[in-house]
Every structure is written in C-alpha cells, then in structure tokens.
Structure 1
Amino acid sequence: MEQPATLARSAVFAPIDEVGRAEAVTARLEEAIVLGMLHPGERLPAEARLAERFGVSPATVREALADLRDRSLVTTQRGRRGGSFVTLDEADRLEAVERRIRALSSAELADLGVHAVAIEGTAATLAAEEASPFEADALARDLASIDFGDELAARRGVGGFHLQVVALSRSVRLAREQVRFQHADGPLLWASLHDAEERIAARAGGERLVAAIRDGDGARARAEVEAACDRAVRWLLEAKRRLG
C-alpha cells in the first residue's frame, strides 16, 4: 500500500526543477529507492498524482516508470489493486549504495557534511530562538517515534526529523534548501545508519539537539548538527576506504 506522507517523504516527491525531463524523475525515484526512503513492496502514487507532485506531464512520468522497470526497481500491475511497486531487494539496495560511495571522491563526500551544516546548522540556531515549548515537545515526540532498531525506518525517520528542525527555523528559504538537499545527495549522508551503533549515536545526538532547542541554546544546537554530520561523513570516508 502507499505509505502516509511525512516531511521526508514529501521531499522525495517535491517538484522537479528540470520540468519535462523524465531523467530527473527517474533519478529522484531511484535515489529514494536505493537509499531506503521508498521501500520494497511499497506502492508509488498513481501516475496522475506523481505528475502533479513533480510538476511534469503524465507522459514524462510514464517514461520514467518505464525506465525504472527496465532497471528492475519497480514493477507495474494492472487492475483495481494495481499500480507501480518498489521491487529492489535489500542485497541489491546495499550494493547500489556502495556504488554511490565509490563513485564520489573523498572531497565530494566531505562536502555533503559541509552542505548539511550550512543549511541545518543555521536552521538549528534559529530554531532554538524561535521554537515554542510546544513545538520542542512535538519534535521530541517525533524523534521518540522513530524505530532506530530498523535501518530503513531510521533513515526515513531521521530525514523527517532533520526537515522538522529546519521548519522550526521559520525560514522559508532554508526549508526550500533542505528539501532540495534531502531529495538530492542528502540521503546518502545518512548511509551510516546501516550500522546499529551509528543509529544509537544518531538517536542520542537527536535527543541532545532537541534539548538544546528547548533550552533556547542556538550555539549548542548548531554544535549538535555539526557533530552528527561529522560522524556521518567519517563513516562514509571509512566506507570508501574499505570498498577501495
């Protein structure tokens, strides 16, 4: 069945800048499937709905889905219970993530962290100044609801959590930049959540970030974002070294 909307999932289906380009739709959906934002067995929104959300024509969506079928990333079924379903299995997904890591230089991987801090570090500082106690409590509940015992659930949840932090900054521009980052290279930054120890660290870091926002301590909130991004980048660089 199609999954409910969250901020992180909304980033997957945000409008495509390159209007009319099937390649851009294909790349967006492939990224989301490979990095676990869309999971095996999940039904994608209907073609008309995808076209509306991406801001492209239905013909462009059909072309993109055909490309994804050729790559064995989705299958399409007809009938009342039909639709397009994610088919990438876990072994293939992990192999695809490894290919992404190999394809980027160490400098490019490190730049993911720089980009993330530039957006969310600034947003976290503002969120500590702007967020009400009620909003801080809601952020804490969102974090507590994430299943850190499951890798894919943790990736989806952490992505949504970081979008929520940026939203609390009250900056429309920062929110837009975070959405762009989230649906482009950003999810790769959280490939580290493949490791159980990294998921434990991510939850603890998220709790400290929430506490800093609740206390109105912008400097501490930014430092927690920087620490989280530094951990994620170090994991990526070690993975690249290990993969050769």
Structure 2
Amino acid sequence: MVSANAALFRPVRAGNAFEETVERLLQAIRLGVVGAGDRLPSERELAERLGVSRVTLREAIRALADAGYVESRRGRYGGTFVNEKLPEPAERAIGQVDPAGLEDALCLRHVLETGAAEAAAARTLSPADRQHLTGTLAEASAASLADYRRKDSRLHLAIAEVTASASLTSTVADARTRVNQLLDRIPLLEPNLEHSNAQHEAIVDAILAGDPVAARQAMAEHIEGTASLLRAFLS
C-alpha cells in the first residue's frame, strides 16, 4: 500500500516553496490524511520530505495557524496539531464557475478514480490493505455532516493507496482537491449522503471481492451522481 501521507508530503518546486508548502499541508488536512486533533509530522521531518527550509516551513505553519487550521503546542508532547474545528469553506456562490473548467475537473476525476477502483480490485490485497479500506469506509459512513467531506475524501484516497501506485495516489489527491473546491460551493444534501454511503459500500465490496469490472462500474455510477449535482448547482 502506498501512503497518501507520503504522496502528499513530497518535495515542492523551488520557485514557489512557501505557497506550495501551504498547499500541501492544507491538502493533507482537508482530505483527512491528517485528521482533526492529530499532530503533523515534526518540523524536521516535514522540511526534509517537502524539500524546504525550516524557516519556510515555519512560515507556512504560522500562516495556517493564523487562518485557524492548526495550533502549536509546547512541551514534551508538543508539536503542531490540526484544530478540532476547522474554518468553514468560503461562502458558497451559485454559478460563476467556468463550464470548461468544471467539465475538465469532472473528466479527470472520472478517469482517475474509476481506474483506481479497477486497479485496486485487480490486486491481491494484504490484510492491512483490506483493513484500511473497511476502516475508512466505516469512518465515512459514520461521519457527521460537518466532517463528511473529509471522511469521504479519505475513503477515495484509501482506494488509490491500495493500488500501490504512488503516482496515482498523488494525482488522485490533487484531482480530489479540485473537486472539493467545487463541492464546497454547493449544499450538502442528506439524501445524497445516504446514497453515497451505499455506493461507497458497493465500491469497497467489489474491490475486496477482487472484481475489477464491478469496482469500476460502481465507482463510475458514484462519480456520475456527484457530477450531476455539481452541474445542476454550478452550470
């Protein structure tokens, strides 16, 4: 299994080190890779993994603290922790979304995530892989409205992780971040969440059964439902 943690905390490009460091840390938080109340890796480890200076990393962490995403604690058990309550997404705006950009994001997600589900089902999964899928599925199913999007994202990342492809996991994370920016602009609808949870279960069941065709079809159906809602609210 390829860890999404490793895929997200990869070296940034030198030209925009501060901005990309903030982006990577926010991705890890918003996609649920580092959960509410969890501690980020140490400054030394993060700086090494991201390929940035400790100064740049501290500036990025300070910016996220000022924005309400993390807090720093001193002492033996100190470090940087994700806040239990995260800032609300920016105010929703209906419309004013570039149609071409919307379709581009939806097309990319469809190709990547249906392929990831198929590839995951085609692998011989280890007990750890199987536990990872069932655990993230259970967390998504039990998530509150406030935490649903992060737990949902974490499940979709888990599917990419068990493909054992670092490149795919990293790309799915980037694509999911784009989609989440669009989802933040529309309301969470409880009937849709119930339907999504049932579809999640079908996807995971197909992967665990080693049925690539069923896994791809179940993921395609799930993704198209989300795409329909986005088109309805944002087109």
TM-score (norm 1): 0.71
CA distance 1:209–1:30, shift in 2 (3 Å):
closer
Alpha-carbon RMSD across the aligned residues, in angstroms, is 3.8
Answer yes or no: is the 8 Å Cα contact 2:137–2:200 preserved in 1.
Answer: no
Secondary structure at the aligned position of 1:131 is classed as coil
CA displacement 1:110-140 (0-9 Å, x = unmatched): 3222112211212222333333596785465
Answer yes or no: is the 8 Å Cα contact 2:33–2:154 preserved in 1.
Answer: no
Give 2:60's match in structure 1, choosing from 45, 57, 64: 64
CA displacement 1:171-219 (0-9 Å, x = unmatched): 454334324435x425446657943333322221122112333444333
Answer yes or no: is the 8 Å Cα contact 2:125–2:162 preserved in 1.
Answer: no
CA displacement 1:28-84 (0-9 Å, x = unmatched): 334555666656655433322321232221111012123334444444454445444
Comparing 159-168 and 199-208, the one that deviates more: 159-168
Answer yes or no: is the 8 Å Cα contact 1:130–1:169 preserved in 2.
Answer: yes
Q: Which residue of the partner structure matches residue 3 of structure 1?
A: none
Partners of 1:108 and 1:87 lie apart in 2 by 32
CA distance 1:104–1:36, shift in 2 (3 Å):
farther
Partners of 1:212 and 1:56 lie apart in 2 by 41
Q: Which residue of the partner structure matches residue 98 of structure 2?
A: 105
Answer yes or no: is the 8 Å Cα contact 1:15–1:54 preserved in 2.
Answer: yes
Q: Which residue of the partner structure matches residue 204 of structure 2?
A: 210
Partners of 2:6 and 2:26 lie apart in 1 by 15
Partners of 2:153 and 2:41 lie apart in 1 by 20
Answer yes or no: is the 8 Å Cα contact 2:137–2:155 preserved in 1.
Answer: no
Q: Which residue of the partner structure matches residue 26 of structure 1?
A: 22
1:228 aligns with 2:226: no
Answer yes or no: is the 8 Å Cα contact 1:36–1:152 preserved in 2.
Answer: no
Give 1:161's match in structure 2, choosing from 139, 155, 158: 155
Point out where structure 2 has 5 or more consecutive residues left out of the alignment: none
CA distance 1:36–1:139, shift in 2 (3 Å):
closer
TM-score (norm 2): 0.73
Deviation, 1:15, is 1.2
CA distance 1:46–1:143, shift in 2 (3 Å):
closer
CA distance 1:110–1:177, shift in 2 (3 Å):
same
CA distance 1:166–1:66, shift in 2 (3 Å):
closer
Secondary structure at the aligned position of 1:56 is classed as coil
CA distance 1:102–1:69, shift in 2 (3 Å):
farther
Partners of 1:36 and 1:170 lie apart in 2 by 19
Partners of 2:132 and 2:37 lie apart in 1 by 29
Secondary structure at the aligned position of 1:125 is classed as helix
Q: Which residue of the partner structure matches residue 17 of structure 1?
A: 12
| Greater fraction of residues in helix | 1
Partners of 2:131 and 2:34 lie apart in 1 by 25
Partners of 1:138 and 1:89 lie apart in 2 by 27
Higher relative CO (Cα under 8 Å, sequence separation at least 6) belongs to: 2
1:178 aligns with 2:155: no
Q: Which residue of the partner structure matches residue 124 of structure 1?
A: 117
Q: Count the aligned residue pairs.
A: 231
Q: Which residue of the partner structure matches residue 51 of structure 2?
A: 55
Secondary structure at the aligned position of 1:24 is classed as helix
Deviation, 1:167, is 3.7
